[in-house]
Every structure is written in structure tokens, then in C-alpha cells.
């Protein structure tokens, strides 16, 4: 864990504010405190930020999986459609996409012939609550039903 301090004058501190915002976007922030300080030289905001460096926060030791390489073409196409649905839901719910379903869960769903509540529950990491909340957005019909 590291700390960073920003002192931003009330007037004319736009550039420093932009620097702080860029810093915040690039780090995993654990805690912030802010105080308005006023003295004979003027007033300023003081920000105290506890954070984890972005590299330390994202390096979990897992190798990133390229699903285009490990899934066949048709399955990858289905996987891509499911990712679009997940992205839309994540935006609507203001959640990170992985909170809805991880890429690993979506890849497993893409391999299914039919996606419904029963088949979703069979996938590791997908429980009843996720199926209840998000399942209907991902349901599909059997291939022979689509051609009718």
C-alpha cells in the first residue's frame, strides 16, 4: 500500500485536478480523505489517497486466456454474442462485467447447445442467484427449434 498527497488551490487548480483524476484512474484506490485548508496564502483542497499500484493490483499470476484460440469458430461467435449481452447488462447495472459472468463462465455457456436455467446452473461459478437475476437475458432455443 502506498500514499499520495495532492494539494489543489481553490482558484486555478484545474491542471492539478486533471493530474489527480488521471492518477486515480490508473490506481486501485483503497481510501481517500479530503480537507479544505485555509491560511494567509489562500485556500486549497488537500487530498490524501491510499492506493495499490496498478501493476500490483492487476497481476494475479494468471495468464490471460485468448478465447479466440481455444474455442472453435462457431463457439467463439456465440461467446462474442454473450459478451455483448453481458456488457449491456453491466452498463445498465453499473457493475463490472465480470460481476455478471466471467469470461470463463461465458465460454462454458457458449459451448452449450441450449442455454436455460437448468444448463446454466451446471456451470462452475454460476449459482441460482445469478441465474435468477441475469439468466433470462442469455437463454437460447435448441438449434432445431430455431429453424422452425
Cβ burial, residue 86 (10 Å; 0-12/13-18/19+): buried
Q: Are residues 75 and 15 in the same domain?
A: no
The pLDDT of residue 136: 92
Task: Please report, for the chain, how many H helices and E strands are present, in that order.
Answer: 9, 3
Q: Which domain holds residue 49?
A: 2-58
DSSP state of 79: H
The pLDDT of residue 134: 93
The pLDDT of residue 141: 75
C-alpha cell at 43: 485556500
Whole-prediction pTM: 0.56
Report the chain (148 residues): mean pLDDT per 10 consecutive residues. Answer: 91 91 86 92 92 60 81 94 94 90 94 94 92 92 56
The pLDDT of residue 80: 95
Q: Are residues 54 and 71 in the same domain?
A: no
Q: Are residues 74 and 141 in the same domain?
A: yes
Q: Are residues 48 and 97 in the same domain?
A: no
CB 5 within 8 A of CB 19: no
CB 110 within 8 A of CB 78: yes
The pLDDT of residue 24: 86
C-alpha cell at 94: 453499473
The pLDDT of residue 44: 94
Amino acid at each position: 500500500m502506498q500514499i499520495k498527497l495532492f494539494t489543489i488551490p481553490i482558484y486555478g487548480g484545474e491542471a492539478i485536478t486533471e493530474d489527480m483524476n488521471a492518477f486515480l484512474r490508473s490506481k486501485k484506490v483503497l481510501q481517500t480523505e479530503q480537507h479544505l485548508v485555509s491560511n494567509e496564502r489562500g485556500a486549497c483542497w488537500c487530498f490524501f489517497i491510499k492506493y495499490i499500484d496498478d501493476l500490483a493490483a492487476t497481476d494475479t499470476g494468471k495468464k490471460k486466456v485468448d478465447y479466440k484460440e481455444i474455442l472453435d469458430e462457431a463457439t467463439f461467435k456465440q461467446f462474442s454474442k454473450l459478451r455483448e449481452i453481458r456488457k449491456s447488462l453491466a452498463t445498465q447495472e453499473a457493475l463490472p462485467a465480470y460481476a455478471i459472468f466471467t469470461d470463463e463462465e461465458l465460454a462454458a455457456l457458449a459451448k452449450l447447445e441450449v442455454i436455460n436455467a437448468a444448463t446454466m446452473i451446471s456451470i462452475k461459478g454460476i449459482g441460482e442467484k445469478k441465474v435468477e437475476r441475469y439468466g433470462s437475458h442469455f437463454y437460447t432455443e435448441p438449434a432445431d427449434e430455431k429453424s422452425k
